[in-house]
Structure 1
Amino acid sequence: MGAVNAAGALLGAPPPLPGDPPAGSDIRGGHAIVTTGLTKRFRGGQVAVDAVGLAVPRGSVYGFLGPNGSGKTTTIRMLLGLVAPTSGEWSLLGEAMPAGLARSLPRVGAVVEGPAFYPYLSGEANLRRFDAADPAADGRTVRRRVGEALERVGLAAAAGKRYRAYSLGMRQRLAIAAALLAPRDLLVLDEPTNGLDPQGTREVRTLIKEIAAEDTTVFVSSHLLAEVEQMCTHVGVMRSGRLVAQGPLADLRADGGGPRLRVETADAAEAAALLEAAGLTGVSAAVHPDGIGEVTADLGDAVPERLCALLVTEGVRVRGFGVVRPSLEDVFVGLTGEGFDVGA
């Protein structure tokens, strides 16, 4: 890792992205992960990660979002010391890397592309073997710690069940349990819901929220917008190796525009005229082949209930009425002009 300059205060980054700490501030103390200009080039000149500057607040659930092949896993491998960056600086839990790996990694739990378990051993026996491979683990407390980890992920009742009989959701929860055999300040999960059915996805999502509620910072990568939107407080968006957006989820949504009013009615022209007369901006109307129209407008500070009462009082036949707020997909398309995987 000689190519990485891990000394210094991790300052002097390129122009900050939204959500970056103020320039010149001590960003390590309040952040679980910080990177400055983190870059990885492979042989042949391929740039997998291009000058990424992450700032992951302590106590957050940070969604590291991007399509497959955008550089998420390579970034995670660099953070954990599994791959040497070509250039750049980074810190974990306030420790400058790579010099601080020995001090910080015992406080970090990670599931990167899933650990390998023995199919014919039980979940409990697998965790015991996993724990035995950790030189820092205390063998005198292994029974208690394994039991607590299984309880924490909801697998205590299945502790004696063979791994090969576990569902995909149970296997992913066991992997997370393996990462929690010791107290962790930071949990790094690479695509934790990848390949899971809806039930398994809900199980893992609920578990991540519970872990975060115990003051553990969770850094979770995903290519699914819907999943990140449901469980994360902060988001970083990767595209082709670059970080194109970063910040609190609520702030990114606000950057995508304010709430929009949507009215479904057979009297689209009349509804649009009334909303414009009421002072709403951005009013547009479209009529579908079946004669039912959709009218949308920027809600601004208007009260939706009063607008609905106005339309009804003026004889507009309202079939549907609601307020639509910008989704993470809307924000992403606005930032990049490209589509994204939103499925689960």
Structure 2
Amino acid sequence: MSDMPGDTGLLAGRRGERSGAPRDAGPAPEECSIVTRGLTKRFRGGQVAVDALDLAVPGGSVFGFLGPNGSGKTTTIRMLLGLVTPTAGTWELLGRPMPDGMTAVLPRVGAVVEGPAFYPYLTGEANLRRYDAADPAADPRTATARIGHALERVGLTAAAGKRYRAYSLGMRQRLAIAAALLGPRELLVLDEPTNGLDPQGTREVRALVREIAAEGTTVFVSSHLLAEVEQMCSHVAVMRTGRLVAQGTIAGLLARETVRIRVETPDVAGAAAVLAAAGLTGIRAGDGEADAELGAEEPERICAALVAAGVAVRGLGVRRPSLEDVFVGLTGEGFDVDG
């Protein structure tokens, strides 16, 4: 018996439930590192990039900001960091209203937006020195210690003297994160941190994000990769065409979907009868298999009931919903799962 990966053929869809953005009962605003209320950005010509966004990012979470390319993720991040002026709405970072609190708050925020930019002929350490020297809030007397600590945190101490152009994609992304961690940070904002990385580089960045969060920093990660967010994050919000369509803990969103049990058997009618007798609902039968909503039943008990009834079982599996299932159900279509 095994858990089976999600497939849309067994999806218990929720396509009729699209009014508003489903979300868990969220934390109080004072417990959040990021709060937005009606945040909107409309460009010339009437194009709405972000439409009335209400976001609540709990402090200490790894928060996945998910959506297809062009859904408004980067524009939102630019508004949060004061790089783009919103058309409407308000926002807070680390409990301070923006943009009035920018001067006090931004030194406590690290960010990597739209990929790293470094001098290819300089070493990793030399590049960080230039980043640090450009920060008016940085104390030059502690630069060496802080740069060394940042390199150590991202696992690049051994490569500090290596020229940037010789870095792998994963090392380049980690150096960008090191630049964002040159001072103490309470909030780290990463825009597509695994974009373009090979599997090894993706694992490196994923592990680093978890380590940073374990130290108490809130990490806000935008991505268009569903599977990556599901592995990395504790909370998630999903954007589509500028609007928020879901928000909450990943566990809470997954709980919205139905766990199903599937039986592969030559006796489909017999299997369906056993499933019905066990009190399962949503039974479907045909093409050599029967499946049903598992509910609170234990799959071991269902398996024993099938055997006791003389139903020949070729295979039995429990299909648990994936993050992809949730968003297919919410939006009626999927987007990039793996890359």
Q: TM-score, normalised by structure 2?
A: 0.91
Partners in 2 of 1:264 and 1:162 — Cα distance? 57
Q: What is the DSSP-based 3-state SS (H/G/I as helix, E as strand, rest coil) of the residue aligned with 2:290?
A: strand
Cα offsets for 1:95-120 (capped at 9, x unmatched): 00000001110110000012310111
3-state SS of 2:289 partner: strand
The equivalent of 1:180 in structure 2 is 181
Cross-structure match for 2:98: 97
CA contact (8 A) 1:28 1:91 kept: no
SS at match of 2:210: helix
Structure 2 counterpart of 1:212: 213
Letter in 2 for 1:335: L
- Aligned 1:105-184 pairs, distance under 5 A: 105-184=106-185
Contact 1:20 1:54 in 2 (8 A): no
What is the TM-score with the length of structure 1 in the denominator? 0.90
Q: Which residue in the other structure is 1:307 paired with?
A: 302
Residue correspondence of structure 1 range 189-204 to structure 2 within 5 A: 189-204=190-205
Cα offset, 1:286, TM superposition: 2.8
Structure with larger RCO (C-alpha < 8 A, sep 6+): 2
Matched residues in 2 for 1:48 and 1:32: separation?
Answer: 23
Deviation at 1:262, TM superposition (A): 1.8
Q: 1:334 aligns with which of 311, 329, 336?
A: 329
Partner of 2:16: none
Counterpart position of 2:57: 56
RMSD of aligned alpha carbons: 1.4
Specify the alignment match of 2:24 in structure 1: 19
Q: Which residue of 2 aligns with 1:274?
A: 274
The answer as to whether partners of 1:66 and 1:72 remain within 8 angstroms in 2 is yes
Partner of 1:254: 255
Partner of 1:69: 70
Q: Which runs of 4+ in 1 moved over 3 A?
A: 19-22
CA distance in 2, matches of 1:17, 1:264: 35
2:246 alignment partner AA: A
Residues 72-117 of structure 1 deviation map (CA, whole Å, 9 limit, x = unaligned): 0000000000000011100000000000001110110000012310
Alignment of 1:28-39 (within 5 A): 28-39=29-40
After TM superposition, give the deviation of residue 154 of structure 1 in Å. Answer: 1.0
Equivalences for 1:220-231 in 2 at 5 Å? 220-231=221-232
Q: Which residue of 300, 317, 325 corresponds with 1:322? A: 317
Distance in 2 separating the partners of 1:42 and 1:248:
31
Q: How far 1:152 moved relative to its partner?
A: 0.7
Question: 1:20 Cα shift?
Answer: 5.9
Query: How many residue pairs were aligned?
Result: 320
Conservation of the 8 A alpha-carbon contact between 1:20 and 1:246:
no
Instruction: Report the residue type matching 2:24 in the other structure.
Output: G
Per the alignment, in what secondary structure is the counterpart of residue 271 of structure 1? helix
Which sections of structure 1, spanning at least 5 residues, go unmatched? 1-14, 288-292
Please say which of residues 41-50 and 264-273 is displaced more in the overlay: 264-273
2:121/2:165 contact within 8 Å kept: yes
Q: Distance in 1 between matches of 2:52 and 2:98?
A: 16
Task: Calculate percent identity across the aligned residue pairs.
Answer: 75
For residue 28 of structure 1, what is the amino acid of its counterpart?
Answer: P
| CA deviation map 1:150-207 (0-9, x unaligned) | 1111111111111111110111011011101111000000000111111111111111
Unaligned regions of 5+ residues in structure 2, if any? 1-19
Is the contact between residue 119 and residue 127 of structure 2 (CA under 8 Å) also seen in structure 1?
yes
- Cα distance in 2 for partners of 1:66, 1:176 equals 22
